[in-house]
Amino acid sequence: MATTAGRVEAAPRVEARGVGLRAGVVTVAFLVAALAIGLVVGPVHIGLGSILRSALSYVPFLHVHQPLGAVDHAVLWQLRAPRVVLAALVGGMLAVAGASYQGVFRNPLCDPYLLGVAGGAGLGATLAIVYASAAAAGSTWTVPLAAFAGAIAAVVVTYALGRSVGATHMTGALVLAGVTMATFTAAVQTFVQQQHTQQLQNVYSWLLGGFSTATWHDVAICAPYIAVSSIVLVLHRRVLDVLSLGNDEATSLGIDVGRARLAIVVAATLGTAAAVSVSGLIAFVGIIVPHTIRLLVSTSYRAVVPLSLLAGAGFLVLTDVVARTVLSPAELPIGVVTAFLGAPFFAIVLRTSRAAR
Amino acid sequence: MYRLSIAVLAALAAALAVVSLSAAAPQQKHAKKHRYHRIISLSPTVTEDLFAIGAGKQVVAVDNQSNYPKRAPRTSLSGFTPNVEAVANHHPDLVLISYDPGNFASQLRHLGIKVVFEPAANNLEQAYGEILGLGRLTGHRHGAKAVVRSMRRHLAAIVASVPTTRRHLRVYHELDPTYYSATSTTFIGSIYKLFGFRDIADAANGAGGGYPQLSGEFILARNPQIVVLADTRCCGQTYADVAARPGWSTISAVQHHRVFGANDDVASRWGPRIVQFARSVARIAKRG
């Protein structure tokens, strides 16, 4: 059994090198194009040439003249640029975390919110919005910190609950503990929300998620966590391949399954919590992006993990562009766009790849 | 003889009718004056209206959001998630609502309680109409008419106090720090229209049913000359917070200190206190 499983998994891995390189180049090009589109498109028209010259004017000794007026400059560098960067960070993080969870739990339906991150963050943010004093509510730190703390607390409880029923061997127990936690936090969150209906609008707009008020401050809050988490997960891509064979096989190949699994789960959770704390709850990215990579490139985590990081970043930047242009100058909640565009796109990928096989 | 008796009877009947009419008339008038004695308001605006027109004494309970006036009998009743039994427990003869989730109103009517729906007004005329309607329901027609007359007179004077050169300012009304705003199709937007201000959210008309979420760069590009913050209580926003937002120092309203931190409650209701709101907006418009 072990040998057949190994042989099935080995096939994509051999071809992964050649295909992976080509796919890597394409994905990087996709991300760069998405970032460029994200910087160019908006209610205020600023040409790509002006953007490049404006960027170059910051490079010392080049003596490029700043071509933009004060308002355009503020729009580009204070509003649009942080928005694009934040969308890229969050999209990459959600996709890579989704891919890792799917590998660790050997379940294709796992998403980054699996262990209660979303419910915990939602509860934390709601409590902060409802109960914070006026001074604290004005601070840009309050809600992200509360969401982050809520997410981490929920996952710690989930993990403790899962372990107490023997999750070290049964990943199913951990998943069930996560579902329990998510349901519980959602109930408390809804209760608090109903008690403070005058804050309903604020809670609701946070839960829907989005980047409409992204600042460099938000980028600075989440970037360190996302960077560390992404690096850890990318370094574990081979381990994920081995883990996908099963516990016994992984152990026989010399891997400390418990420790590897914990490292991956901690990294994915920490990064997801940081992403959620600045962007709210954006669904679907963590499922659709890794599966698209699997269907189009390879099922090996050596390809899926790094490519999900890049493609997720590009995907969320583009969906954010759609979210802010469709009803311009009004905004559309980004979660609506990720699901509305993502679902049909995923259906097409699923159909074409099945047909090719 | 027969004729005489008919005549006498007719005369008697006529006299009786006159007497009974003259006796009944003041009674009927009296009954109309206080038609409902046990009123419950589940709408903060209706509560403000009732007390303004002089019907406050007939109000037995108001919902948990009705925080003005202070003497209103505030209870834990909710206007958003209303409970029929909890409302009926106060034995009301009239329940006033601005929101009707599920079968709330029809269930109350099944219990024999009169329910009147006073939806959110979209302009001043609708708001005046609700105040006059409440006057008729509660027997305070004169009070209601006086309130509406006073509102009209004050608003006209406030608008006239703003010089014509300041009548076309671009205004941005902020509902929360994620840039949800209100167009001139809404009640608050109609107040700005009174001054002749141009509501920058109108560019996003059609999105969000009068309350669209604007993009940050659109606000910067439109460069509003007045910013009204209706998120001072919910979200602690102040002039300093707005001025510190990235890029907002370029906005005319920030440079000329034309940022008005409004009372969220007053700015989101369609009651008599809108006059105070308009007065503050006029003061800001005249500044700088």
Provide ipTM, 2 decimals: 0.75
Does A28 reside within a domain? no
Contacts of A159 (CB under 8 A, 6+ apart): A115, A167, A174, A177, A265
Write down the pLDDT at residue A345: 82
**pLDDT, tens only, B85-143:** 999 999 999 999 999 888 899 999 999 999 999 999 999 999 999 999 999 999 999 99
One domain, residues B211 and B254: yes
Task: Provide the whole-model pTM.
Answer: 0.81
CB contacts < 8 A, A to B, total 107
Does A263 reside within a domain? yes
One domain, residues B125 and B69: yes
Contacts of B168 (CB under 8 A, 6+ apart): B196, B197, B198
Burial of A51 (0-12, 13-18, 19+ CB in 10 A): buried
One domain, residues B97 and B191: no
Share of chain A above pLDDT 90, in %: 36
Residue A164: pLDDT band with limits 50, 70, 90? confident
Write down the pLDDT at residue B200: 95
Write down the pLDDT at residue B81: 84
B161 close to A (CB below 8 A): no
Kindly state the tokens that stand for B95.
């329940």
Exposed e or buried b per residue across B172-182, where buried means at least 16 C-beta atoms within 10 angstroms of its C-beta = bbbbbbbbbbb
Residue with the two structure tokens 């997410």: A151
**pLDDT, tens only, A226-273:** 999 999 999 999 999 988 887 788 888 888 888 888 899 899 999 999
Per the structure, the count of domains in chain A is: 1
Q: Cβ(B214)–Cβ(A331) under 8 Å? A: yes
Residue B6 pLDDT exceeds 70: no
Per the structure, the count of domains in chain B is: 2
Q: Residue A178: which CATH number?
A: 1.10.3470.10
CA atoms within 13 A on the CB side of B78: 10
Does B30 reside within a domain? no
One domain, residues B180 and B262: yes
Residue B22 pLDDT exceeds 60: no
One domain, residues B174 and B278: yes
Q: Residue B197: which CATH number?
A: 3.40.50.1980
Does B199 reside within a domain? yes
Domain termination residue (choose one: B147, B179, B206): B147
Chain A residues touching residue B238 (CB < 8 angstroms)? 138
Q: Cβ(B228)–Cβ(B260) under 8 Å? A: yes
Does A350 reside within a domain? yes
Write down the pLDDT at residue B11: 58
Residue B29: pLDDT band with limits 50, 70, 90? very low
- Average pLDDT, stretch B183-198? 95
DSSP codes, B230-287: S-HHHH---HHHHHHSTTGGGSHHHHTT-EEE--HHHHH--STTHHHHHHHHHHHHH-
Strands B59-62 and B39-41, how do they pair?
parallel
Mean pLDDT for chain A overall: 85
Does A325 reside within a domain? yes
Beta bridge partners of B115: B95
Write down the pLDDT at residue A65: 83
Which domain covers residue A171, as residue numbers?
A: 52-356
Contact A330/B208, CB-based, under 8 Å? yes
Residue A208 pLDDT exceeds 90: no
Cα–Cα distance list, A296 to A78, A289, A341, A352 (Å): 37, 11, 18, 10
User: For A71-80, A198-207, B173-182, B209-218, which range has the lowest pLDDT when averaged over its residues?
Assistant: A198-207
Q: Quick one: residue A332, left, alpha or beta (phi over 0 = left, psi -120 to 50 = alpha)?
A: beta
- Average pLDDT, stretch B15-42? 61
Which domain covers residue B244, as residue numbers?
A: 164-286
Sheet of B114-117, strand order: B59-62, B39-41, B94-97, B114-117
One domain, residues B137 and B52: yes
Contact B179/A43, CB-based, under 8 Å? no
DSSP codes, A294-347: HHHT-SSHHHHHHHHHHHHHHHHHHHHHHHHHTTTTB---HHHHHHHHHHHHHH
Sheet of B170-174, strand order: B198-199, B170-174, B226-229, B259-261
Kindly state the tokens that stand for B238.
């102040």
Say how far residue A300 (Cα) sits from the centre of its chain. Answer: 20
Cα–Cα distance list, B90 to A33, B110, B216 (Å): 64, 16, 47
B225 close to A (CB below 8 A): no
One domain, residues B51 and B122: yes
Chain B interface, best mutation among A71, A140, A332, by max B CB count within 10 A: A71
- Average pLDDT, stretch A346-355? 77
Q: Cβ(B27)–Cβ(B74) under 8 Å? A: no
Q: Cβ(A254)–Cβ(A313) under 8 Å? A: no
**pLDDT, tens only, A26-35:** 999 999 999 9
Write down the pLDDT at residue B28: 44
Write down the pLDDT at residue A106: 83
How many C-beta atoms surround the C-beta of residue A163 within 10 A? 13
Does B104 reside within a domain? yes
Residue B24: pLDDT band with limits 50, 70, 90? very low
Q: How far is B164 from chain A (nearest CA, A)?
A: 28
- Average pLDDT, stretch B151-162? 96
Cα–Cα distance list, A105 to A100, A111, A243, A284, B204 (Å): 8, 10, 9, 18, 45
**pLDDT, tens only, A71-128:** 888 889 999 999 999 999 999 999 999 999 988 888 888 888 878 888 899 999 899 8
Chain B interface, best mutation among A85, A191, A195, A202, by max B CB count within 10 A: A202
Closest CA to B278 of B188, B198, B200, B145: B188
Contact B223/A198, CB-based, under 8 Å? no
Most confident range (mean pLDDT) of A227-231, A341-345, B176-180, B235-239 is A227-231
Does B17 reside within a domain? no
Q: Which residue has the higher pLDDT, A234 or B209?
A: A234
Contact A329/B175, CB-based, under 8 Å? no
Does A7 reside within a domain? no
**pLDDT, tens only, B243-281:** 999 889 999 999 999 999 999 999 999 999 999 999 999
Residue B12 pLDDT exceeds 60: no
Nearest-angstrom CA–CA distance, B195 and B282 = 8
Nearest-angstrom CA–CA distance, B180 and B177 = 7
| Residue type for position B259 | V
One domain, residues B208 and B106: no
Write down the pLDDT at residue A42: 86
Contact B250/A43, CB-based, under 8 Å? no
Domain termination residue (choose one: B95, B117, B147): B147
Beta bridge partners of B214: A330
Sign of CA dihedral B264, B270, B276, B278: positive
Q: Cβ(A73)–Cβ(B246) under 8 Å? A: no
Does A20 reside within a domain? no
Contact A75/B177, CB-based, under 8 Å? no
Q: Cβ(A95)–Cβ(A315) under 8 Å? A: yes
One domain, residues B221 and B123: no
- Average pLDDT, stretch B227-239? 90
Residue B9 pLDDT exceeds 80: no
Q: Of the candidates A75, A201, A215, which has its C-beta nearest B176's C-beta?
A: A201
